[in-house]
Amino acid sequence: MRFTPCKTWMCAALIACALPAGAAAPAANDWTLAGSLGLMQFIVVPEASARDRDYYTRVIEQRCGKEETCFLRFFTNSTGAPPTVPLPDAILAEPTAMFQRSVKQLREQFQWSCRLQLAEANCF
């Protein structure tokens, strides 16, 4: 039997058919990596997910290895400005969260933006 690579849409259909009944297909990334400067990564997230801590956990797992130093800054983009680095002022005005992990210092921190009014203390 000879293997023939499938077209992207066909592969997606085959994977969806192979899932057990009631199981959801893995969600596509709905966030955008605007760019990075050294270890710092700038990520634009959908406004609908901006206050969802579990959402950020999934993005962090996708962008950061378990044993690597990682710095993520999250923003929304209600104006539709092009997500580039340096970030346009319109995106910079919409911070949502920040995550940093230092393997050297054995420290990990997640903070909400005070703009979202989700954390009374320890926001930025």
**Other CB atoms within 10 A of residue 108 CB:** 13
**pLDDT value at 121 more than 70:** yes
Q: Tens digit of pLDDT for each residue in 7-61?
A: 333 333 333 333 334 434 445 689 999 999 999 999 999 999 999 999 999 999 9
Predicted local confidence at residue 52, as pLDDT: 97
**Other CB atoms within 10 A of residue 62 CB:** 11
3-state secondary structure of 108: strand
Query: Vertex 86, ends 46 and 27: CA angle to 5°?
Result: 25
Which residues contact residue 55 at a Cβ distance below 8 angstroms, ignoring those fewer than 6 apart? 45, 49
**pLDDT value at 3 more than 80:** no
Predicted local confidence at residue 28, as pLDDT: 64
Adjacency order of strands within the sheet including 32-37? 32-37, 40-44, 70-75, 95-102, 107-112
